[in-house]
Chain A
Amino acid sequence: DQQVKQNSPSLSVQEGRISILNCDYTNSMFDYFLWYKKYPAEGPTFLISISSIKDKNEDGRFTVFLNKSAKHLSLHIVPSQPGDSAVYFCAARSPFGNEKLTFGTGTRLTIIP
């Protein structure tokens, strides 16, 4: 049972344009959401997060939007740069137990120069 879904395995965007990566979840108890970025042969690194009590969080070129009623979050990158080419994972945190993270399957973003 995939509780966090990233339905687009890949996405290509022209440099300078906006990249929008989507993530859907099914568990309404998730209280915190994170985006991680992963380059080949490296582990994921934290990018941006959002609490379930907010609907938007912005950090430079990166903005995460949360729609709790739709159980949907998105990551916007604008303007997109070649260095943004990577695999992006969304993750959701459970408030119970050890606060473990549940990850999506990832979206491979390719920025076209």
Chain B
Amino acid sequence: GAVVSQHPSRVICKSGTSVKIECRSLDFQATTMFWYRQFPKKSLMLMATSNEGSKATYEQGVEKDKFLINHASLTLSTLTVTSAHPEDSSFYICSAREDRHRNEKLFFGSGTQLSVL
């Protein structure tokens, strides 16, 4: 099946630094990628939808200047957590959609555990 690669899997950083997370679709072109965040014992919460070549669409309550999303190519989207603070510590996961109208063709990365000290 299709593979989505997400890096890094784990990152620990100091408060105030920025962290970039990459999401790549390895064997298909993903016109749309999604970024989720998950707190312990909570559900995956959609943060933003990233469309190749256009600005990301952010969900209500998600700061677009805090969480910068770039989808520069059909196989790569990046999420940058700017000036990270301890409350940004969370599990971040991306997904990529292969077919516009079929959600089962939604492939997930393995996630990134961010810990901000």
Residues of A within 8 A of B (CB): 2, 4, 9, 32, 34, 36, 41-46, 49, 89, 91, 93, 98-106
Which residue of B6, B43, B49 contacts A4 across the interface (Cβ within 8 Å)? Answer: B43
In the assembled complex, which residues on chain A have CB atoms less than 8 Å from the CB atom of B110? 41-43
Count of chain B residues with a beta carbon within 8 Å of a chain A beta carbon: 27
Say which residue of A2, A42, A45, A99 sits within 8 Å of B43 (CB atoms). Answer: A2
User: Mask for B25-49, Cβ within 8 A of A = 1, else 0?
Assistant: 0000000101010000111111001
Interface string of B7-36 (1 = CB under 8 A from A): 001000000000000000000000010101
Q: Which residues of A contact B9 (CB under 8 A)?
A: 41
How long is the Cα–Cα vector from A32 to B1 in the complex, in angstroms? Answer: 22
Complex CA gap A103/B44 in Å reads: 6
A43 in contact with B109 given A4-B43, A105-B42, A106-B43 (CB within 8 Å): yes
Ordered by A's residue number, 9 sampled pairs between the chains whose C-beta atoms are within 8 Å are A32-B103, A42-B110, A43-B95, A44-B44, A45-B107, A45-B108, A103-B36, A104-B43, A105-B43
Is B84 interfacial (CB-CB < 8 Å)? no
Q: Is the CB of A46 within 8 A of B104?
A: yes
A95 → chain B closest CB, angstroms: 11
Which residue of A is nearest B94, CB measured?
A: A43
Q: Tell me whether A43 and B4 are in contact in the complex, defined as CB-CB below 8 angstroms, given that A4-B43, A101-B103 are known contacts.
A: yes
Set of chain B residues within 8 Å of A98, measured between Cβ atoms: 32, 49, 57
Q: Which residues of chain A have C-beta atoms less than 8 A from B1's C-beta?
A: 45
B93 at the interface (CB under 8 A from A): yes
Are A101 and B106 interface neighbours, CB within 8 A?
yes
Chain B 41-76 against A: per-residue CB contact (8 Å), 1 yes, 0 no?
Answer: 111111001000000010000000000000000000
